[in-house]
Amino acid sequence: MIISIQEFKSKIKKKNQFFGDPIMQCLYLIKQDKWESAHDIAQNINTKIGMLLHGYLHKLEGDLWNSKYWYQKSGFENIPQNEEEEWEYILKKCLARN
């Protein structure tokens, strides 16, 4: 189990990593430039953090309407606008669950 942001960031530099948590797997896949694989997983995560992640993926894709829809569904507010900061924000929310 990942316990810190630094630990996760060190693991995502390696290829072919598997994380048991689907949100962490998506965050890893995003860093591996595997948007479609991350989206395939994210669209089946029916939690508030999953919806936040789904919105982030659509933001990365440039589909801002769809992104806004998922952000609103997630209920999160004050989401960072910078993509890297948002990625880390989602990671922090994910780690806080454990």
Residue range 76-86: average pLDDT?
94
Q: Place 5 in a pLDDT band, splitting at 50, 70 and 90.
A: confident
Report how far residue 83's alpha carbon sits from residue 89's, in angstroms, rounded to the nearest whole number. 10
Residue range 75-80: average pLDDT?
93
Query: What does the block give as tokens for 45?
Result: 């995560």
Q: For residue 71, how many C-alpha atoms fall within 13 Å in the half-sphere facing its CB? A: 16
Report how far residue 14's alpha carbon sits from residue 65's, in angstroms, rounded to the nearest whole number. 33
SS3 16: coil
Residue range 72-84: average pLDDT?
94
Is a pLDDT exceeding 80 seen at residue 98?
no
* Residue ranges of domains in the chain: 20-97
Query: What does the block give as tokens for 11?
Result: 């693991």
